[in-house]
Amino acid sequence: MALLDVENLTIEFPTRRGTLRAIDGVSFAIDPGEVLGVVGESGAGKSLTGAAIIGLLEPPGRVAGGRIMLDGKRIDDLSQERMRAIRGRQIGAIFQDPLTTLNPLYSIGRQLVETIQTHLGLSDRDARARAIKWLEDVGIPAARQRIDAYPHEFSGGMRQRVVIALALCAEPRLLIADEPTTALDVSIQAQIIALLKRITREHGTAVMLVTHDMGVIAETADRVAVMYAGRIAEIGPVRDVVKTPAHPYSEGLMGSIPSLEHRVERLRQIDGAMPRLTAIPAGCAFNPRCPAVFDRCRTERPELLPAGATRAACWLHAGGR
């Protein structure tokens, strides 16, 4: 059974000019120990989906439909109180900016020990020993000495390591990582990705990795979901989505990324921009930018359809035009 099961998730933002639907019928599942990459351009709704799963949607945003199941139990309708207990213990979270997760007033050791004690109920000594072990695990040199240091005494890369330790120290079964490497330099980014991969594999943690960086997804994820305008455009094994994308949007996205391996005269480009929430086109939201658009795309919205090894929300895969 899947560890996380998101069914038909819909997120809305009531505004004075009507209700905006930011996420519209998104469904996916993550198995234990699996890494699901969620990619898309800014405004596609990938971070919102992550926030909804950990119960940290910022008001006035709200889950307006569908359900989120963790380990067979529904979690999207829990009270703040119950959700707080699940956050940390069962779902860990890493965000782009480590400083938003770390409390600048407490030493990192205190934050780790507190989290470990709250969720695992260990004694002071055991919790501290466990915290030191975690810091060593995430590659903080001289962990025994540095455990009493404050967040500002660490560099950006080291801080993100601490955040990873903090997110995983209560041994959650699911980790939501939202752009965990975006704020870091390339050489540091590679270290953090390698670390995340190793640690989650060791602990069998399922990961939802939200990022706009296809390179990171390609190296880290088992499966990938490509989001566009609040819906999943394509979902499938990472190799297939990257090498043989079935949705014209994924195809354009992959083609627009400059490669290190070879140089091309012109990059593939998708003309135009993602629609604003106030003006999502009828039919397939991608149809005004799509090179393969035909009549049906303009009127009827496609659901995810089997397309080779992946599933794509595109009428091209409905058995011919």
Partner 1 sequence: MADIVLAASGVTRDFDVSRPWLQRILAREPRRTLRAVDGVSFAIPRGTTLSLVGESGCGKSTVARLAVGLYAPSAGDISFEGQALSSARAQPALRRKMNMIFQDPYASLNPRWRVRDIVAEPIRAFALLRSEKDIADRVAQLLTQVGLAGADGEKFPHEFSGGQRQRISIARALSSEPDFLVCDEPTSALDVSVQAQILNLMRDLQQRFGLTYLFISHNLAVVRHMSDRLGVMYLGRIVELGDGETLFRAARHPYLRLLLEAIPDLAMVGRARTPVGGEVPSPIDPPPGCPFHPRCPLANDRCRAEKPAHVVADGVEIACHAVEEGRA
Which of 64, 86, 149, 257 contacts partner 1 by CB under 8 A?
257
Asked if 303 touches partner 1 (CB under 8 A), the answer is no
Which of 52, 70, 132, 158 contacts partner 1 by CB under 8 A?
158
1 or 264: CB nearest partner 1 = 264
Site for partner 1 in 194-213 (CB under 8 A): 194, 212-213
* Spatial separation of the C-alpha atoms in residues 57 and 73, rounded to whole Å: 19
Minimum distance from residue 136 beta carbon to partner 1 (Å): 16
The amino acid at residue 120 is: L
Closest CA to 45 of 3, 18, 77, 6: 6
CA distances (Å), 239 to each of 37, 220, 227, 244, in order?
12, 11, 17, 8
For Cα atoms 256, 262, 263, give the angle at the middle one, nearest 5 degrees: 65
Minimum distance from residue 120 beta carbon to partner 1 (Å): 31
- For 211-289, list the strands marked E by DSSP: 223-228, 231-237
12 or 251: CB nearest partner 1 = 251
Which of 123, 273, 278, 320 contacts partner 1 by CB under 8 A?
273
Q: Please, is 115 exposed, middle or buried when counting C-beta atoms within 10 Å of its C-beta (0-12, 13-18, 19+)?
A: buried
123 or 187: CB nearest partner 1 = 187
Asked if 238 touches partner 1 (CB under 8 A), the answer is yes
* Spatial separation of the C-alpha atoms in residues 234 and 311, rounded to whole Å: 6
Which residues is 236 bridged to in the sheet? 224
* Spatial separation of the C-alpha atoms in residues 226 and 317, rounded to whole Å: 16
39 or 70: CB nearest partner 1 = 39
* Spatial separation of the C-alpha atoms in residues 21 and 8, rounded to whole Å: 13
Asked if 252 touches partner 1 (CB under 8 A), the answer is yes
Minimum distance from residue 290 beta carbon to partner 1 (Å): 12
Answer for the pair 54, 65: CB distance below 8 angstroms, yes or no. no
DSSP letter, residue 20: E
28 or 154: CB nearest partner 1 = 154
Asked if 189 touches partner 1 (CB under 8 A), the answer is yes
Which residues is 13 bridged to in the sheet? 20
Window contacting partner 1 (CB under 8 A); options: 66-74, 105-113, 144-152, 235-243:
235-243
Which of 261, 278, 279, 319 contacts partner 1 by CB under 8 A?
261
Query: For residue 49, how far is the Cα from the chain centroid?
Result: 8
Window contacting partner 1 (CB under 8 A); options: 58-66, 86-94, 98-106, 150-158:
150-158
Asked if 9 touches partner 1 (CB under 8 A), the answer is no
For Cα atoms 178, 180, 181, give the angle at the middle one, nearest 5 degrees: 140
Asked if 215 touches partner 1 (CB under 8 A), the answer is yes
Site residues, partner 1 (CB under 8 A): 41-42, 155, 157-158, 185-191, 193-194, 212-216, 218-220, 238-239, 242-243, 252-261, 263-264, 266-271, 273-274
